């Protein structure tokens, strides 16, 4: 394999050999290109000298950065230049790649897309909150959208494994920080939009604009754009897709590609009545939750956009499996009450999870949840309001308090949930819910979903809601 030169990756007269890319100065090795970016916690420019000492041949940074001993590749948007160069270095990538953005539903949608592709005979993978998932394995990355070096390295690795189809989650953070660039997209999708991440984005409009980078810049004209039509922001997304020259495909109750005519809950899922090309179809979806219809329909449209035949896609929709931590039934208590675990950590997501379980409740719905520390404080009381309005019993506990005072977080949640029960320790709260539940009741453990740790202060401790529920039930 011929060595890669710096001049092959950027418009510079420098033929230094490039051996890799790094955005953490501690991971720089000889021949690397170092990305020095200003972040929320650290300023990468503070570590330029150390990166050069470790062997960096070039530093991608803002024009004002001080660089000595290595080539300074200056750009007002250094993250974008770094991503462009890294994409050339790591290529080739899988032939068919799609990306999904939205506040809720991204994880389920990319994973269902992967499952449907697999059922159609394609070697496929999904990348997102659950990590990198293939038919054979799952590797955790710790972020919805991993850093650009990890993302591109993963993509190249999947190509080497013979995987030709990949669906990935495009988070607002990842899009804003150019962490999901450089891979040609066959299709993009929008699920929905509601409050989240206002600890990072100044306003809801800024949050929305970050997500729209997927449609405005990342997707090339001619790619398909799948839009869920039943969100207040859907029309704005459709306008952006048309302006970019994307091939529009819509799904939902107002959808033209796949229209949802009706949905009826069943003991173990729901029956969807759909319209496609003027013909009506009935799907028995083996998933609890009305909102799962949006996820599976968006996934189905992404597979159609990438060459799937409707007959095969329709058949596969009824065979998708539940996604870890998304209304996952963890255990049935000794008194016969099922316990569901869900990742819902916004007011809208919590409302959707509760609404999903309501048709199946004969007795009481008992909701256990908290709010994460060092994150958007404005959503805490609204989450409490949603839980207390829609649940029969609410237990407010700790989520991942991080460096905040757990009692102060609970107080902010309780302000929106008068009458709720406060139990500080999450294990104790889960135990209390199982102890009070009787046959006919349903317990919802919300907020952590698939997570297997709890962050308290600066400690990361083992904690899995599903596992703890099973231990308490036993």
Annotated binding-site members for ATP: 102-108
Using CB atoms within 10 A of its CB, is residue 222 exposed (0-12), middle (13-18) or buried (19+)?
exposed
Q: Report the binding-site residues.
A: 102-108, 144-145, 171, 177, 179, 375, 399-402, 447, 451
Answer yes or no: is pLDDT of 444 > 80.
yes
pLDDT at 223: 98
Confidence at 146, pLDDT banded by 50, 70, 90: confident
Q: Is pLDDT of 82 > 90?
A: yes
**Known binding residues for meso-2,6-diaminopimelate:** 375, 399-402, 447, 451
What are the φ/ψ torsions at residue 288 (nearest 5 degrees)?
A: -70, 140
58, 67 contact by CB (below 8 A): no
Task: Check pLDDT > 60 for residue 197.
Answer: no
Smallest Cα–Cα separation from 225: which of 201, 261, 256? 256
Q: Could you tell me the CA-to-CA distances from 449 to 239, 244, 382 in Å, in that order?
A: 34, 36, 20
Beta bridge partners, 22, equal 34
- What mean pLDDT do residues 387-392 have? 98
Question: Which pLDDT belongs to residue 386?
Answer: 98
Averaged pLDDT score across all residues of the chain = 92
Distance between CA atoms of residues 388 and 394, nearest Å: 6
DSSP state of 378: G
CB atoms under 10 Å from CB of 358, counted, come to: 14
For residue 196, the model assigns a pLDDT of 58
Residue 89 CA to residue 186 CA, distance in Å, equals 21
pLDDT tens digits, one per residue of 261-294: 999 988 778 999 999 999 999 999 988 888 899 9
The per-residue pLDDT for 288 is: 86
For residue 470, the model assigns a pLDDT of 97
Residue 130 has a pLDDT of 85
Fold equal for 91-317 and 328-473: no
pLDDT at 139: 56
User: Which pLDDT score, from 0 to 100, does residue 143 have?
Assistant: 47
- Tell me the domain boundaries of the chain: 4-81, 91-317, 328-473
What burial class does residue 273 get, using C-beta atoms within 10 Å of its C-beta: 0-12 exposed, 13-18 middle, 19+ buried? middle
Give the tens place of pLDDT for each residue, 213-266.
Answer: 999 999 999 999 999 999 999 999 999 999 999 999 999 999 999 999 999 988
Return the CATH number of the domain spanning residue range 328-473: 3.90.190.20
Contact indicator for 227, 251 with CB cutoff of 8 Å? yes
Architecture of domain 91-317: 3-Layer(aba) Sandwich (3.40)
Q: Specify the pLDDT at position 160.
A: 94
**pLDDT, tens only, 454-468:** 999 999 999 999 999
Q: Which pLDDT score, from 0 to 100, does residue 377 have?
A: 94
For a pLDDT cut of 70, what percent of the chain falls above it? 96
Average pLDDT of the residues in 123-129: 92
Contact predicate 396/366, CB 8 Å: no
Q: What is the DSSP string of 161-229?
A: TT--EEEEE--HHHHHTT-S-SS--SEEEE----S--TTTSSSHHHHHHHHHHIIIIISPTTSEEEEES
Rounded mean pLDDT of 127-143? Answer: 72
Q: Residue 250 has what pLDDT?
A: 98
Q: What is the pLDDT of residue 142?
A: 47
In this structure, are residues 286 and 296 in contact, taking their beta carbons and an 8 Å threshold? no
Averaged pLDDT for residues 349-369: 93
**CATH assignment, 4-81:** 3.40.1390.10
Query: Which of residues 100 and 328 earns the better pLDDT score?
Result: 100
Q: 301-340, pLDDT tens digit by residue?
A: 999 999 999 999 999 999 998 888 888 889 999 999 999 9
């Amino acid at each position: 394999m011929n060595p890669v030169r710096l001049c092959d990756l950027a418009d510079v007269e420098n033929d230094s050999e490039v051996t890799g890319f790094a955005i953490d100065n501690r991971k720089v090795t000889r021949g690397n290109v170092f990305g020095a970016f200003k972040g929320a916690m650290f300023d990468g420019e503070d570590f330029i000298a150390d990166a050069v000492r470790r062997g960096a041949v070039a530093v991608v940074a803002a024009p004002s950065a001080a660089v000595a001993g290595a080539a300074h590749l200056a750009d007002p948007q250094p993250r974008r230049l770094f991503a462009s160069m890294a994409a050339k270095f790591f290529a080739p990538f899988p032939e068919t790649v799609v990306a999904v953005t939205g506040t809720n539903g991204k994880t389920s949608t990319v994973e269902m897309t992967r499952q449907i592709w697999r059922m159609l005979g394609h070697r496929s993978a999904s990348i997102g909150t659950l990590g990198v998932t293939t038919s054979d394995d799952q590797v955790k990355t710790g972020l919805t959208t991993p850093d650009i070096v990890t993302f591109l390295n993963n993509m190249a690795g999947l190509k080497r494994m013979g995987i030709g189809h990949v669906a990935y989650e495009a988070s607002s953070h990842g899009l804003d920080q150019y962490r999901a660039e450089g891979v040609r997209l066959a299709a993009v999708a929008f699920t929905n939009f509601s409050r989240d991440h206002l600890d990072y984005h100044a306003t809801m409009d800024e949050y929305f604009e970050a997500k729209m980078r997927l449609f405005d810049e990342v997707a090339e004209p001619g790619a398909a754009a799948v839009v869920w039509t039943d969100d207040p922001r859907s029309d704005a997304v459709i306008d952006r897709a048309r302006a970019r020259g994307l091939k529009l495909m819509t799904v939902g109750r107002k959808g033209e590609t796949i229209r949802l005519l009706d949905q009826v809950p069943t003991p173990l899922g729901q029956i969807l009545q759909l319209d496609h090309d003027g013909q009506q179809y009935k799907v028995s979806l083996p998933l609890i939750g009305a909102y799962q219809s949006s996820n599976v329909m968006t996934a189905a449209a992404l597979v159609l956009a990438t060459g799937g035949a409707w007959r095969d896609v329709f058949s596969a929709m009824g065979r998708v499996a539940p996604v870890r931590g998304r209304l996952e039934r963890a255990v049935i208590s000794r008194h016969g009450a099922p316990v569901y675990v869900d990742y819902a950590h916004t007011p809208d997501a919590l409302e959707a999870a509760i609404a999903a379980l309501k048709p199946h409740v004969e007795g009481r719905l008992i909701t256990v949840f908290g709010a994460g520390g060092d994150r958007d404080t404005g959503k805490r009381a609204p989450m409490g309001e949603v839980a207390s309005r829609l649940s029969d019993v609410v237990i407010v506990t700790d989520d991942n308090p991080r460096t905040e005072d757990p009692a102060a977080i609970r107080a902010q949640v309780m302000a929106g949930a008068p009458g709720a029960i406060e139990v500080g320790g999450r294990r104790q709260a889960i135990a209390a819910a199982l102890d009070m539940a009787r046959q006919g009741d349903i317990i919802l453990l919300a907020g952590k979903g698939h997570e297997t740790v709890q962050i308290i202060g600066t400690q990361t401790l083992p904690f899995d809601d599903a596992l703890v529920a099973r231990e308490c039930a036993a």
